[in-house]
Amino acid sequence: MTASSPRRVLGWTAAYVPVLFYAALIVLPLYYLVVSAFKENTQIALDPLGLPGSFSFAKFADANDAVGLIAASANSLAVAVGSVLLTILLAAPAAHGIARRSSRFATGAQIAFGLAFLIPQFAVLVPTYLMAVRSGLIQVPLFFLVLFYAAMNVPLAVLLLIPFFRAIPKEIEESAELDGANIVSRMRHVLMPIVLPGLTTVAILCFLAAWNEYIFAQVITTNASYTVQVALPLLRSEGAFQGADVDLGRLAAGVVISVIPVFVMYAILRRRLIDAFAAGAVKG
């Protein structure tokens, strides 16, 4: 063993121990959640981290039968995907317009989008509900949530996309214009593929924001249009008024059902998200 070997081992240890510790902090709660979905309350209390005696999916079926969790997840998925598409459709042209101009109007628009973050969501809860009622959109709550989530996410999306558009050389767009491409064709065939890492970042963040939102969905939706975040707490409250114990296994199964679409989306877009972070690091 060379003299540098102890130092090398110490260096590897110092580098990997924090990483392994952080990974354990993430994996252990997920493991606990999944194994709890196959256990009864007594098993969860006596052996919280042990494997279940049998892997029966009865808890998942019970969770769905109790509150219609799969239908609620489908509602959330439709709302989240719809709001993401609408957000990108609105934010990309706005970000491009601001990035390509250095006028006071463009600067003011960018500041205005930034100031939108200073408005707390609770401040617009009552006006949003009144607008939904008076416009009649309360009758189509999921469509209204698509519009509302897109409106809430556009400021963030614009601010995230501006640096990506600014990094594109103007010569690329001018060359496409000389070839006869109009602004729509340039955005669709030239600019959007280049800023795809930024669009992926926006899509993930906006999807998570729409998927996890609870307050407005609770106010706007009804039984048939519940989103997953509204339906999930019903598993906790069901039977509580009669003094019955909460079925923790069923509750864990419901949470597992609710996070599966998020993991699937991240698995699909993971590479694009890493590319976006790498591009941001290089530009910085």
Phi and psi (nearest 5°) for 162?
Answer: -55, -50
Reported as a single tens digit per residue, the pLDDT across 163-186 is 999 888 888 888 888 878 788 888
Residues 115 and 19 occupy one common structural domain: no
**Token pair belonging to 47:** 């052996």
Residues 119 and 254 occupy one common structural domain: yes
**Token pair belonging to 269:** 């877009």
**pLDDT at residue 241 tops 70:** no
Share of the chain above pLDDT 90, in %: 30
What is the enclosing helix (H) or strand (E) of 211?
A: helix 196-212
Residues 25 and 69 occupy one common structural domain: no
Residues 94 and 12 occupy one common structural domain: no
Indicate the pLDDT class of residue 281, thresholds 50, 70 and 90.
very low
**Token pair belonging to 136:** 């009649």
Q: Are 272 and 196 in contact (CB under 8 A)?
A: yes
Residues 20 and 117 occupy one common structural domain: no
**Token pair belonging to 265:** 């989306």
Mean pLDDT of 124-140: 91
Q: Are 129 and 220 in contact (CB under 8 A)?
A: yes
Mean pLDDT of 234-247: 65
Q: 11-15, 26-30, 45-49, 225-229 — which is least confidently predicted? A: 11-15
**pLDDT at residue 234 tops 80:** yes
Q: Is residue 216 part of a domain?
A: yes
Chain centroid to CA 119: 20
Indicate the pLDDT class of residue 26, thresholds 50, 70 and 90.
confident
124 vs 87, higher pLDDT: 87
Q: Is residue 62 part of a domain?
A: yes
Q: Is residue 51 part of a domain?
A: no
Residue 156 CB neighbours (<10 A): 19
Residues 85 and 127 occupy one common structural domain: yes
Residues 128 and 183 occupy one common structural domain: yes
What pLDDT shows up at residue 123?
A: 85
Q: Is residue 164 part of a domain?
A: yes
Q: Is residue 53 part of a domain?
A: no
Residue pointed to by tokens 């969905």: 217
Q: Is residue 52 part of a domain?
A: no
Residues 109 and 248 occupy one common structural domain: yes
Domain holding 115: CATH number? Answer: 1.10.3720.10
Burial 188-203 (b: 16+ CB within 10 A, else e): eebbeebbebbbbbbb
Distance of alpha carbon 88 from alpha carbon 256, whole angstroms: 29
Residues 197 and 232 occupy one common structural domain: yes
Q: Is residue 116 part of a domain?
A: yes
Indicate the pLDDT class of residue 121, thresholds 50, 70 and 90.
confident
For residue 18, the enclosing domain spans: 5-46
Residues 159 and 253 occupy one common structural domain: yes
**pLDDT at residue 199 tops 60:** yes
Residues 130 and 218 occupy one common structural domain: yes
- Residue 116 CB-density burial (10 A; 0-12 exposed, 13-18 middle, 19+ buried): middle
Distance of alpha carbon 245 from alpha carbon 58, whole angstroms: 18
**pLDDT at residue 6 tops 80:** no
Distance of alpha carbon 198 from alpha carbon 95, whole angstroms: 11
Task: Please give the tally of structural domains in the chain.
Answer: 2
Residues 108 and 177 occupy one common structural domain: yes
Q: Is residue 240 part of a domain?
A: yes
112 vs 246, higher pLDDT: 112
Reported as a single tens digit per residue, the pLDDT across 88-104 is 999 999 999 898 887 78
